[in-house]
Structures are given as structure tokens and as C-alpha cells.
Structure 1
């Protein structure tokens, strides 16, 4: 079975040339049809106007009969015009007499002009009559064949301009297509180079505004990709460093045990060290796995009516022990009435645990860690504040990027895996909320604020009076 050759698509320039040519052809066709139909009417009207002027001129001549009958052939020329004279008594003389019917005679004798059709020697003719001052009239006729010849000439005259217009439109379409396609083709080449991993590519910004906007967007994308890849590279270096340290310890102690270099009385201490290093590895890998799960499309959130005050109280009960062992004061700020919101209580607790763990790591003994919850402008607000060293403005700009703060402070502060704040940021987004960082809160250290918005159109956020019944979690 032979593979089908993919059909080659027409380029943008080809589409534009084809489109402009088709539009010009349709316009030329419609113009030609209108002109073709109106040419006969215009030719007939022109011949009638000519006959009318001649008849009017002749009707003013004082010696009418000698002019008509002695110079008729000379006046008629090549058009085959025929003349007739209508006397005041109704008699008609001249070659055009048979074409003048009774109705036209009556009209002319009444002093009104006539412009109509007639039949002369078996041939269709134009009939034009003009009354004279003496009470009669002058009548002129001209064969319709003259009108047909004039019509054909008009139609030939309009054919060439229409053809020139069609060719001009095709040429203009080609020039326009070239002007539009050139920056787009260059932008496509830049996009392919970016996709192949090249960075620092300068995209074209010439041409029409839309094409220039595409070029600027590609330049912005190039810069964003470069920043993202640099951060990923730094994060991977940080991850490798964090993994190498406990792995080196585990490997060293394992080789020492295998070689019998550990004294029997040192084995329990070595075992505890190995257990601590493996727990450290486990925590780091768990954070990596949590971050990956939060990025997945099938991450599940089970929303239910939740009292955030109860969730905060449960978190405080759990962290009171670790805080006490570190000499850190744990404070809780919560409203007396239940603060109800539709969210996933398990994920909210996971979010709070990560933020408190991060705060406890940098808070010195004697300083506080604060867990707070309250309602603010239609949203439920959760806060974790600490009395640690806080964050700079530069820290806040990258606080939720994986490993960013970790790489900055691992030599000066106690740090974790470097993924906690990134997990908190993604988890908040999954809950439909927003998280922000403040460099120095009321306690002097960092302050992280999470706002959980209620669903639109549903008054899910509410405070119940103390003692009211309602679901807790």
C-alpha cells in the first residue's frame, strides 16, 4: 500500500493573488454586464438626441421644402436618414412619410414633439418629429441598424478598460501578497528556529501592523522561553545538588558498613543518620511528585461546604507541637462565627500545612507564627505570617517559582526542597483562589495571603451566628 503524498497547500501570497483576481473578475463581470445592457439604451438615446437636434434645426428654416427635397441625400449622409414634411392640413411628403402613423401626426399637429419607433420599407427605424412655426412639422427617421453599430462600438470601447482593470487588480494583488507574505514568512522561520531550541532570534517587525505585532510577540516569546529555560536549568541544578548530598551520605555509610569500617557501637548512630537522609530524600521526592500532580489535568478537587475556621483550628492543633519544640509561639486569629465557603477542606489543609512548615523553618525561637482567617470583600482570606527575616522585593517577584528562593538562601538560611511555595501557588489556583506574598507583615517576617472566591452567582461565603448548625468539613 503506497503512502499518499500530502497535498501541497497554497501559500498566503497565492491566496491573496487568487482572491484579488477573483474579486476583480467579478467586479469586471458585473460592470461589463451592466455596461453591456445599458450600451444599447445609451446608443439609442444618443441617436434620438442627434435626430431631435437636426429636426429642431430644420423646423426653424424659413424655406423648408427646397432644403428637404433638393439636399436630402447630402444631409442624410451615411446613416440612412430619411426626411418628411407634415403640412398644416395633415398631408405628408418625403421618404420618411410611411413611418409616421396617425397618432404621431396628431401629436405633431397639436404642436408637440414626437420621439417613437416605426417601420419603413420593412425596416425598424427611429422616428423623431419637431413642429414648425407654420403649423406643420419636420420628421426624421434613422434605421435601427445605426443604433446597433453604435452599440457594438460602445461595447468594444468598454472591453479594453475592463481587461486592463482585471490585469491591474491581479498585479496589485501580487504586490499586496508579497508585502504581506514576506514578514509572515520571516516570522514563521523565526518560530521554527525557536521550536528547534535556538534563542536570541530577532523577529521582523516591518510590514503591516498585524505582521509587526506577530514579530514583537515572537520576540517576547523568545525572551520568555529563555527566562523559563534558565530557571528550569537552575532548578535542575538545585535538584541535583539536593539529591546528591543525601545520596552521598547514604552511599558513604553503606560502603563503610559493607567494608566493616563501622564499629559496633556506632551502628545505631549510623542507622539514624541513614534514616534521616532517606527521609530527606523521601520528602524531596514527595514534593516533586506533588508539584507534578498539580500540573496534571486530572487533578481532583472535591468541593464541599467548609468552615474555614475549623480547618485553621485543626491545623493549629497539629502545628502547636512542632512550634513549641522550636520555641516558636503559634497564634490563631479566627472569627467567632463559622466562616462557610464551598471548597475542598483537605486541599485547604494541605495548603496551610505547607505555608506553616515554610514559616516555621525560617522563624527564630521567641518569634511568632500566625494562622489567620477572616472574610474580606466577599472573599475568604487565609493568612500565614511569621516573625522571620522576611522577603525582599526581588524575592517576592520569584517567590512562587520552583527553587528560586532555595538557590538564593541555601547558604544563609534553613531551606527545604525549594518547592513548597510553588506547590502552594498551584494548589491555590486549583482551588480557584489567589495567593500573594508580602515581604514584611505585622510580625516583621513574610506574610502569605490566600483569597478563596465563592462561586459566581452563588452566595456561598457566609458567616453563621455562633451556635448555628452547619457542616464543618
Structure 2
């Protein structure tokens, strides 16, 4: 289980790194905005305080020396200085050096002033208000106070930002744990399935996507179990079908070697041996054909082909075997050619397999019909219908599984190798089409329909 341990590059680690990176970016942007906003906020606060004080002072009925005597008390620890401008333009007080001509003119014109100036060699905030009885009041404060307040605000912002980033990283770790836990469990289930275990329940909890993974693994588990059961049944069927002719061959060969076969029976024994070897050859040929159809290198010789002519040729070939079995072979084809781009040889191979299967199960006096017609989409459909016993709904579901019907009916119906329908189904897919089956067609027996496209696509 070492392969399941969290390691570098894991989903959980990636989620933690991603959420932390996003949080760090958000913190950086927030910090940058807060850093810039702190200076503006501190300056605005100091200006508002100076403006309120100047407004109060400007409303005094008489701007006199009393204001100068209280200037220091008014300034307090922040170093606020005061200047009084009389109606005739004369200024006095500690803030007088900061009062320029432009400030004085604006105040005497009745306009409030809020700006910066230089006083005693340092930058100061300057706020002035016109007096109600004429003249004006000016207050100044060192800009260093704003800088100090700005630094305090910035220091107070750093801790929440760091806490926020740590909280985001913790939230990312918890989220990663919640997401990764069902994925790790699903991975364990997948490895157990790969090791050959079956019936292993996958977790279906957590987010919707991980629930889908769990459900998909459960479906895969069931599908693997069904497939392996069918493969097991198929191998049992194959071994049974191989053992029967091999037993006959071995028995007759030993009898011949021991001289137990009379001379007059030699032709009969030779015929039996020939029949059994043909059965083995047919069975092995079907296995090889099925393997070739599964190979990626399977080649098609695509050219325009009249499927009506292909079906007619197949009917002519199978007319003799059908007549010997007492089966009526009929052809249904339109007057106009049914031409598609396909491999005519492979289509004939497909039709031959279906007709051979139909003749095997159709009793004497019943029909086998070969039909071809154009499809609305520009393709074509080839049908092989028989008057045999047909198929049940359960038969239809497994009709194209290798050996499924063979194992089911080998003791009650004539059967072949058990691979014919699987070959036909895969061959139809290789031709770019589909093969479907109905349990009971117009003639009472099974109806197989191969739908072929106008031009074959990838198989």
C-alpha cells in the first residue's frame, strides 16, 4: 500500500498550495490597498479634527489675544499651532509663518482652506475658517503626526492579514482532506480490482464528483465480474468442444494402432476422423477470426459495392445447403442498386455467418430470408431472418457474447462453435455499422439486421 501514501504532487498537496497561493494573493492585494488607504485615512482624520476646532474658534464673536493665550493648551501633545487673521489682513500667532498670501486672501474672501504648508522647516497640515465677525482662524499640525498615525494603522492591519492567510491555508488543508479522502479510498478500491478482487464496494460519499467516481468503480466492479464469469463459461465451453472431437480422435487412433478396427470399417472410421478434424479446424478458424477482428491492424478494402448483388451471391451459394436441409431460401431486394462504400468481401463474410447460423436452427419447410434495403440516412440494411425457434429476451441480451447461446442450447438445439454471432457483431462494427437482433421476426424466428453506413468510419 506504499503506492497510496500521500507524496509530492498529490491532489491534497496541490489543493493546499493552491488555496494558500490564492489566499496569499488576496492578502497581498488587500494589504496593498490597506497600506495606501492608511495614509489617506490618517490625514483625513487629522484634517477633520483641525477643521472642527477651527470652526469652533471661528464662531467666537471676537478674535482676540485670548486665543493666543490658549493656543498652547489647544495644541496639546500634537503640536497644533494657531494663527488669527484680522479683518485688515494682519496675522498673529504661532501658525503665522505658514499663512501665505493665497491662504490669507481666500480666508478674507470667506472661503475655507484645507492644505499643506511649511512651518519652521517642516511640513504641516493647514486648516483655516473665516470668522463670523470678520477675519479668520488658522490651525496647523505637523505632518509627522499623520505619519505616526499611518504607521499605527498599518501595524494594526498586518496581524489580521496574516491571520486571514493562515486561516485560508487551514481551510484549504481541511478542504483538501475532505476531497482527497474519498479519492484515496477509490484508488485503493481500483488497485484491489486491478489485483483481481471482486465485490469490493467503493465509497460514494463526499462531493458529487467523487460520488460519481465511486459509483463508476462499483459499476466497473460489476461489469468485470460479469465479463470474467462469461469468459470462464466460454473457456469451459471451449474446453468441452475441444475435448469431444479430441476424445474421438484419440479413441479411434488408439484403436487403429492396436489393430482393433476391422478392414471393412476403415472407410467409416476415416470419415469420422475427417469430420472431427473439420470440426476442430472450423472451431480454431473462428477463434483466429475473432482474434484478427480484435487486432488494431485489421484492414478493410473499401470501394463502392452493390449490397443487392452481394446478398444475391450469398443466396446462390447457400441455396444448395438450404435445399438439402429442406429450408426455403428467399431473397428480398429492391430493383435499384443499393450502393455504399464498404468492403464487399467482409459484408459477404458477415452474411455467410448469419445465414449459416440461421440454417442450423431452421427446421425443414421453414424459410430463411436474405433482405437488403436502402436506409434513410444514405446507408443500407442487410437482414437475415429465419423460421426457427427464435430467441427469448434474455437470449437477445447475450446473443453476441462469445459462447453464451452455445452454452445455453448445445444440449437442445444444433449449435456451431459458439463464436459465429460474436464474429458477426464485431465484423459489423469494423465495417462502421451495427448488428442488432430481434428475438422473433416476421417468419417467427430470429431477425438479425446489419446497418451499414454510406461510408465506413473508424471501427
Q: Pick the TM interval, shorter chain.
A: over 0.9
- Which secondary structure does the structure 1 equivalent of 2:448 belong to? strand
- Number of residue pairs the alignment of both structures matches: 451
The residue number in structure 1 matching 2:363 is 364
- Which secondary structure does the structure 2 equivalent of 1:440 belong to? coil
Is contact 2:108–2:136 with CA below 8 Å preserved after alignment? Answer: yes
The residue number in structure 2 matching 1:69 is 68
The residue number in structure 2 matching 1:305 is 304
Is contact 2:388–2:446 with CA below 8 Å preserved after alignment? Answer: yes
Is contact 2:130–2:136 with CA below 8 Å preserved after alignment? Answer: yes
The residue number in structure 1 matching 2:240 is 241
The alpha-carbon deviation at position 30 of structure 1 amounts to 1.3
The residue number in structure 2 matching 1:27 is 26
Structure 2 CA distance for aligned equivalents of residues 382 and 448 of structure 1 = 8
Question: Are positions 1:282 and 2:281 aligned together?
Answer: yes
The residue number in structure 2 matching 1:404 is 404
The alpha-carbon deviation at position 26 of structure 1 amounts to 1.2
Give 5+ residue unaligned stretches, structure 2.
1-5
The alpha-carbon deviation at position 107 of structure 1 amounts to 0.4
**Higher mean displacement: 13-22 or 61-70:** 61-70
C-alpha distance after superposition, 1:28-87 (max 9, x if no partner): 111111111221121111111110111001101224324411211111110001000011
Structure 2 CA distance for aligned equivalents of residues 341 and 376 of structure 1 = 11
The residue number in structure 2 matching 1:390 is 390
The residue number in structure 2 matching 1:252 is 251
Is contact 2:341–2:456 with CA below 8 Å preserved after alignment? Answer: no
C-alpha distance after superposition, 1:393-437 (max 9, x if no partner): 111111011001001100000000011000010000111111111
C-alpha distance after superposition, 1:146-199 (max 9, x if no partner): 011000001011011101101110111111111111111100000000000000
Question: Are positions 1:104 and 2:103 aligned together?
Answer: yes
Question: Are positions 1:218 and 2:214 aligned together?
Answer: no
Is contact 2:340–2:455 with CA below 8 Å preserved after alignment? Answer: no
The alpha-carbon deviation at position 368 of structure 1 amounts to 0.8
The residue number in structure 2 matching 1:338 is 337
The residue number in structure 1 matching 2:438 is 438
Structure 2 CA distance for aligned equivalents of residues 9 and 134 of structure 1 = 79
The residue number in structure 1 matching 2:290 is 291
Question: Are positions 1:148 and 2:147 aligned together?
Answer: yes
Structure 2 CA distance for aligned equivalents of residues 57 and 222 of structure 1 = 85
- Which secondary structure does the structure 2 equivalent of 1:64 belong to? coil
Is contact 2:61–2:132 with CA below 8 Å preserved after alignment? Answer: no
Structure 1 CA distance for aligned equivalents of residues 243 and 426 of structure 2 = 27
C-alpha distance after superposition, 1:78-118 (max 9, x if no partner): 00010000111011000000101101111001000001111
Structure 1 CA distance for aligned equivalents of residues 371 and 23 of structure 2 = 71
Distance 1:296 1:315, change over 3 A: same
- Which secondary structure does the structure 2 equivalent of 1:103 belong to? helix
The alpha-carbon deviation at position 451 of structure 1 amounts to 1.0
Structure 2 CA distance for aligned equivalents of residues 58 and 234 of structure 1 = 106
Is contact 2:431–2:456 with CA below 8 Å preserved after alignment? Answer: no
**Higher mean displacement: 7-16 or 133-142:** 7-16
Q: How much is the aligned-residue C-alpha RMSD, in angstroms?
A: 1.3
The residue number in structure 2 matching 1:114 is 113
The alpha-carbon deviation at position 456 of structure 1 amounts to 9.0
- Which secondary structure does the structure 1 equivalent of 2:64 belong to? helix
The residue number in structure 1 matching 2:16 is 17
Structure 2 CA distance for aligned equivalents of residues 320 and 403 of structure 1 = 27
The alpha-carbon deviation at position 8 of structure 1 amounts to 5.3
C-alpha distance after superposition, 1:301-349 (max 9, x if no partner): 1111011111011101100110011111111111112111111000000
The residue number in structure 2 matching 1:48 is 47
Structure 1 CA distance for aligned equivalents of residues 451 and 10 of structure 2 = 50
- Which secondary structure does the structure 1 equivalent of 2:368 belong to? strand
Give 5+ residue unaligned stretches, structure 1.
1-6, 458-473
- Which secondary structure does the structure 2 equivalent of 1:128 belong to? strand
The residue number in structure 2 matching 1:467 is none
Structure 1 CA distance for aligned equivalents of residues 7 and 204 of structure 2 = 28
The residue number in structure 1 matching 2:428 is 428
- Which secondary structure does the structure 2 equivalent of 1:391 belong to? coil
Is contact 2:332–2:369 with CA below 8 Å preserved after alignment? Answer: yes
**Higher mean displacement: 58-67 or 39-48:** 58-67
1:99-248 equivalence runs, <5 A: 99-248=98-247
Q: Give the TM-score, by structure 1 length.
A: 0.94
C-alpha distance after superposition, 1:104-153 (max 9, x if no partner): 11100100000111111111101110001122100000001101100000
